Amino acid sequence: MNARVEQKLNEQIVKESSSSQFYLAMASWAEANGLNGTAKFMYTHSDEERFHMLKLVKFVNERGGKAIIPSVEQPPQEFDNLERVFELLLEHEIMVTESINEVVDVCLQEKDYSTHNFMQWYVTEQLEEEALARTILDKLKLIGQDKGGLYLFDRDLENAAIAPEAAGPGAGN
């Protein structure tokens, strides 16, 4: 495996691992604050990010590189309010998108078309992640501080059929 590509993929492994921990902290905060729907959403999102990390680990190792498993960084434990949680989620997903784009750029520079092809799944996934975060934020802004609206929003998240992308193109990678 190309050394530059391997380094960028290992950096992405760190970001995906951090994302999983960040969303896990959000889930715990939400659960502790009686927001069971938001907690369920964030637990699922945390699992999805871990899946993204594992997919990268397996890919690097199968291509002859060495995936580096990162240490766990302490995520924040407290959040101002529900809207801020989803603002942070969107900001974080935008950062991950930029990082994915950097990996893709290095793949093209190094003419590593196999990894470039593999990374297209992540490019598509990030479009979906950002769109979902924006949609949720739009709903929260409409609700404002209406407690009844927040209750219904949280209940809707709890009942939503949002599941991690456990299977998809290259799921075995």
Q: Round to whole Å and give the CA distance between 90 and 106.
A: 25
Q: Round to whole Å and give the CA distance between 40 and 51.
A: 17
Q: Which residues of 128-145 are buried (b: 16+ CB within 10 A; e: fewer)?
A: ebbebbeebbeebeebee
- Would the annotation count 116 as a binding residue? no
Query: Both tokens of residue 9?
Result: 């993929």
Look up residue 6 and give its amino acid: E
- The answer to whether the pTM exceeds 0.85 is yes
- Would the annotation count 48 as a binding residue? no
The answer to whether 102 and 8 are in contact (CB under 8 A) is yes
- Would the annotation count 125 as a binding residue? no
CB atoms within 10 A of CB 92: 19
Q: What is the mean pLDDT of residues 131-160?
A: 93
Confidence of residue 171 (pLDDT cuts 50, 70, 90): very low
What pLDDT score does 162 carry? 53
Query: Both tokens of residue 156?
Result: 């809707």
Q: Round to whole Å and give the CA distance between 94 and 126.
A: 8
Answer whether residue 167 shows pLDDT above 50: no
Percent of the chain at pLDDT > 70 equals 92
> 64: phi > 0 → left, psi -120 to 50 → alpha, else beta; which?
left
- Residue 100: which of 2, 1, 13 has the closest Cα? 13
Answer whether residue 172 shows pLDDT above 50: no
* Beta-sheet strands, E only, within the chain: none
Query: Both tokens of residue 48?
Result: 């999805």
- Would the annotation count 165 as a binding residue? no
Which domains are seen in the chain, by residue range?
3-159 (1.20.1260.10)
Confidence of residue 73 (pLDDT cuts 50, 70, 90): confident
pLDDT digits (tens, 9 = 90+) for 20-55: 999 999 999 999 999 999 999 999 999 999 999 999
- Would the annotation count 126 as a binding residue? yes
